[in-house]
Amino acid sequence: MDLYVSDKQVVVAFNGCSALFQPGISRVLRESLIGPALTAGVRLASGEVAVIPKPEIEAPELDAVVAAIKELMQEGAEGVFGATGIPKLAPIRAKAGKGTTEALRDDAWALIQAETETEV
């Protein structure tokens, strides 16, 4: 079990749980409070650097991104496409999912462009 310590008095609270840190006194923390405590300046008592794990965000399938872009094109909403004509990432993420990356968007856009060229 890891011990955490702070150099100053700190109260850490998250989701109905809280922990009080007195300066220089180490204590155990429940898992849900570790991230907020580290953000507030609390550190591992052993001197090691604690790392807050980032949650994995799953990337959507390419087909889902293509469908999201086509849907945005049909809606014709303002501000969806940038000056270069490529769709902006935020509106695509809103439809396809937060895991949509620029590379995934670019691949989907290339597929859509290839489809339109063959139709003409």
Q: Is the domain of 39 the same as that of 72?
A: no
Assess if residue 115 is contained within a domain. Answer: yes
Assess if residue 94 is contained within a domain. Answer: yes
For the chain, 120 residues long, give each residue's pLDDT as a single digit of tens: 789 999 999 999 998 999 999 998 989 999 899 999 999 999 988 866 556 666 778 889 999 999 999 999 998 878 898 888 899 999 999 999 989 999 999 999 999 999 877 776
Q: Is the domain of 76 the same as that of 102?
A: yes
pTM tops 0.75: no
pLDDT of residue 1: 73
pLDDT of residue 49: 58
Q: CA geometry: angle at 94 spanning 35 and 112, to 5°?
A: 130
Assess if residue 57 is contained within a domain. Answer: no
Q: Is the domain of 73 the same as that of 101?
A: yes
| Cβ-based neighbours of 61, under 8 Å, separated by 6 or more | none
Assess if residue 55 is contained within a domain. Answer: no
pLDDT of residue 58: 85
Q: Distance (Å, rounded) from C-alpha 117 to C-alpha 94? A: 27
The rounded Cα 9 to chain-centroid distance in angstroms is 30
pLDDT of residue 120: 60
- Which residues span the domain enclosing 81? 62-119
pLDDT of residue 51: 60
Task: Tell me the CA distances in angstroms from 120 to 16, 74, 84, 87, 114, one per residue in order.
Answer: 60, 18, 21, 21, 10
Q: Is the domain of 106 the same as that of 72?
A: yes
